[in-house]
Amino acid sequence: MTSPLSLSSGRAFGDKWKFNNEAENEGEASAEERPSKRVFAESAGPAGAGSGAGADEVLPTRCEIVAKKTNVAGSRAIVRLAEFFAGVGGIGKGFKDAAAELGIDLEVCYVNEYNSAAADTYELNASDEATCTLHLIESPDFSEKVKKGVKTIQGLDSTLLKYAQYIKKITLDRESVKPLVDRRDVTTIEMKTDPLVPSDIDIIVAGLPCQDFSYAGKKAGIAGDRGSLYKCFASTLKEKQPKYFLVENVQGILNHGGETKIKPAFEEAGYQVSIHLIVFADYGVPQLRRRVLFIGIRNDLSSKVKFAMPRPTHGREKTGLTPYVTAGEALKSVSDYVFNSVTPVVKKQSCLEELKTVREGARAPGVDGQEGRKFRRISSKLPFKTIIGTNHASGALHHWSEPRPLSDRESAIAQTLESFAFCGTKHEVGLQIGNAVPPLGIKPVAKVLLELFIKSLE
C-alpha cells in the first residue's frame, strides 16, 4: 500500500503533534519559559528532620532534578512514543491518558497502520481538527443523505441524536486533518534509513496481529503471514533501540512460540523482556478480556529500573477490591451516543425463536443446521465476555434482554472506546472494535512505564 504522505511535502512524523493538543500559537510561552508539569512533582514541603534544611525550605522535586541533569531545567519532559500495528489507537490513548494523569508531555512521533479504515479511524479520533461525513439512510425525519463536517466531540450532541439510527457509514474528511498515520506495509519499510521513521524514540508500542494465534483463528502461529510479523518488529527494535517497548497479543500466542521464539527474538534486539498475562477487567474495563503483554527494557537501563505489573484495582465480590464494572453499568448511557449506534435487527424468524430460549448470561447451540453458530447473551450483572471482531457472525455476543447482537457502540463501550467514532463499513467497524486494545486497561501499565522512563533519566 502506498503511503499517503509525500516525502516532498515537508511534513515529517517528527512534527510535534502532541496528544495533549496544547496550542503552539505565536506569543505563547516557550518550553523553557513554561513551568514544569512533569511527573513526580511532589513538593517535599518543610524539610524532614535530619535533612539540614530550614523549616521553610522546599526540597527539589524529582522532575527538577531530572530537568537539571538533562539540561532542560524548567521544561517538561517529552516522551516520544511510536505506535506500530496501531489499529484505532487504543494503546496510544492509554499512554495519552496515563501521561496526562502524571503530568508528562507525550509526543507521538510516528504511527503505522496498514488497514485503511483503521487508519482513518485513528486520524479522525486523534486530531481535534478532524471532521467526518455521516452517510445516512432514508428517514421520514430528515431529507439529508449526508451530513458533513462533523467532529467526534459531537458524539454526545443531542441535536444529532435524530441521525443515530440512520447512519450507514462514517468517512473521514481527509482535507480536515494532516496525515498522521503511515499506511505502508511495515515489512517494506527500511527502518534504518527511511526518512519518515524517526530515530529518537523513547517507547514503542505495538498490537501485533493476533489472527494466527487466536483460539478462534486458523492457529497458523509464527509460520503464518501475520504471526511471523514479530520478526519485523524485532528488527525495528534492533534498529531504533527505544528505551522501552510494549507488545500486546492474545493469550494463544503463548502456545505458538511466545516464550521460545518471540521473547528470544526481542531479547536478541537488546532487551530484558518479561511476559505478563493481563485481565483488563482487573483495571476497571467492563470486559473479561485476557491478553498477553511483552514488556521490554533496553539492556543498558535494566540495572536501573525494573518493571512490575500494577496491582489490580477491581475484582469479584469479597476480594476487598472495587467490584468489577458490569455490562449493565457500562451501558447505562448508551442511548446518548450518536456514532456507530444503529441497533442491529435479527430478521430470521428461526434465530429470533432460538434467542427467546436463551437466558441472560447463557448460550445456545446453532440453528438451521449451521454448525458452530452460537447465541451468547451477556449478563448485565457481570463484565462483558471478550469482544471479538465478528460481532454479527458466529459467536457474536447478544444483549441480555433484547433479541439482537450488541451494537457497535455497545461493543466500543465494552472496549472503553466510548468516545471514538469508527470509519468504514459495518464489517470493517466490527473488526476495528474487536481488534482494539482497551485504553483504560493499558493506562495503569503505561503509567508504570512512563514512571520508569523518568526514573531512568535520573
Residue 372 domain-assigned (yes or no): no
- Mean pLDDT for all residues in the chain: 81
Instruction: Tell me the CA distances in angstroms from 65 to 34, 37, 59, 333, one per residue in order.
Output: 17, 13, 10, 45
Q: Could you tell me what percent of the chain has a pLDDT over 90?
A: 62
Cα 250 versus chain centre, distance:
15
pLDDT digits (tens, 9 = 90+) for 3-29: 334 333 333 333 333 333 333 333 333
- The single-letter code of the amino acid at 145 is K
d(CA 248, CA 104): 23
Structural domain contains residue 341: no
For residues 155 and 62, which has the higher predicted lDDT (pLDDT)? Answer: 155
Which positions are catalytic? 210
Q: What is the pLDDT, as a whole number, of residue 51?
A: 37
349 falls within a domain = no
Side-chain-facing half-sphere of 115: CA atoms under 13 Å: 21
| Residues 378-410 pLDDT 10s | 999 999 999 988 655 545 899 999 999 999 999
Domain with residue 103: its CATH number is 3.40.50.150
Residue 288 class from Cβ within 10 Å (0-12 exposed, 13-18 middle, 19+ buried)? middle
Q: Which three cell numbers stand for residue 456?
A: 531512568
Band of residue 208 on the pLDDT scale cut at 50, 70, 90: confident
pLDDT(161) > 60: yes
Q: Is residue 306 part of a domain?
A: yes
Inside any domain, residue 171: no
**Boundaries of domain holding 451:** 62-121+179-317+438-457
Confidence band, pLDDT 50/70/90 cuts, at residue 214: low
* pTM for this entry: 0.82
pLDDT at 60: 45
What does the pLDDT read at residue 19?
A: 33
Q: How many domains does the chain have?
A: 1
Whether 244 is covered by a domain: the verdict is yes
**What is the largest distance, in Å, between two alpha-carbon atoms of the chain?**
82
147-153: long-range contacts (C-beta < 8 A, 24 or more apart)?
Answer: 148/173, 149/173, 149/176, 152/124, 152/125, 152/339, 152/419, 152/420, 152/421, 153/128
Q: Is residue 85 part of a domain?
A: yes
Residue 247 lies in a domain: yes
CB 424 within 8 A of CB 169: yes
Containing H/E element for 443?
A: helix 439-457
Q: Is 22 exposed, middle or buried (0-12, 13-18, 19+ CB in 10 A)?
A: exposed
As a whole number, mean pLDDT of residues 38-50 equals: 35
Helices (H) and strands (E) in the chain, counts: 10, 14
**pLDDT digits over 267-307, tens only?**
999 999 999 999 999 999 999 999 999 999 999 999 999 99
- Tens digit of pLDDT for each residue in 397-453? 999 999 999 999 999 999 999 999 999 999 999 999 999 999 999 999 999 999 999
| 362/330: higher pLDDT | 330
